[in-house]
Structure 1
Amino acid sequence: MKNLISNQNGSISSLALLLTFLVLAYSFSNIATSLEELNSIKFRNKSYLCAKVSLRKLENYSLFMERLNKIIKLNFYLQLSPDPIVGRTATAAVKTSVLAQNAYHAAYIVKLKNINECQLINILDLQRTTPARTRAIFKLTRNMDRTVKMRKKWKNKMIFKAPRNISSIKYSFMIELSNSLQGSLFSRKLVVRTKEVGSKGIYQLKQLVGL
């Protein structure tokens, strides 16, 4: 009788221990899932902030280049003025504007890299493909009148690779920017349309960043 009771007590203890382990495993699983979801929210918030800051710099860049292009174009033809003072002033204005564009372009490339909310992979395509056409990353392409050759339509991809503490395949995504300069020659503005590529476009992400 004592052996039977002892066996029953042992079985109950084993069952209780098993149930305890199951409850603990379930709890730890929920905690891990909650932590991953929390980290994914932080990751997406930081990614969207990176995109917002980058877009602002992209818009400022386009506006600056367009404004100086107008100044260069006007003064390029004023250089032909029979008035020597007007001609010299126009020549100086063209040279100064060209130098300003070169400096601003270089600063733009560096500033993109230094955005606190961004990693290099996020802004790499923005550096490679700017609104202004380039021969090399820091060398602008120009027209005969010394204005910068601006793109009319182009696309950029901002890739956001999830950190190691969350699932890379599940949470990594890409924002595709469809950009265009719209309006007349002297009043053009940048129009940007964005599209997020998530899990359905993961194959493309694999090709781009080797997820």
Structure 2
Amino acid sequence: MYDGTQRGNGTSAKMRVARLVDSYLTEVARDRNLSLTKFQVLAEALPESARSCDDGLYRAIDSYLKAHPTLSEHERKRLCRVMDCQKLSIDACMHAAQNERLPLRVVVQVLFSEQVKISNTIATNSLKEAGDGQYQPMISNRKTLLEGTPQSFQEGWATAKKDINTLKFELESVKAKYLELQNDMENLQRQFDKISKQKQTSAWTSGWKKIGQTH
């Protein structure tokens, strides 16, 4: 009989296999004789559901780009299509956003994904409500940029580059606000702990006074 435990074990097994495949890909990617097609076939051999995170796949792609510096823009885009930017962790996004080996279009997707992840983190921790509410992600503009065709990216290189720099500045602002809010929360927690300790001490003192009055 197939139950939830079996399903969970199956998912876990798929993830272990995905990690092994990605580790293998990272190793073979350093082989300069490995063709782009073979790399793609290996990367896409697993079902999409097998990878809950694409960090390992990103490392393999980066290794391939390092070992094959003569790839054309079209080939680099083709290579990166095996990766889902939305499945990258924030750390991987931060690395990819500054990775000059990646195509411009992929860098934009990574920056957009990172911005969304940070915004979601702030919302999840209820820190967004604690702020001044002035931060508004430029999501509509990012979607417009992401929907651009390859030709429009080439023709508008200067505009796209300027937009990336603007988004990087916005991300730094969001990170600074997140750290500031986190610090405020920690200060509030310390104050709360201090007040709780004072109340506890006061209760003990009051109790001892009552005991002293009875004797």
Q: TM-score range by the shorter chain?
A: under 0.3
Q: Which has the higher strand share?
A: 1
| Greater share of helix | 2
Larger Rg: 1
Please, what TM-score do these two structures have when normalized by structure 2?
0.25
Report which structure shows greater RCO (CA 8 Å, sep ≥6): 1
Output the TM-score relative to the length of structure 1: 0.26
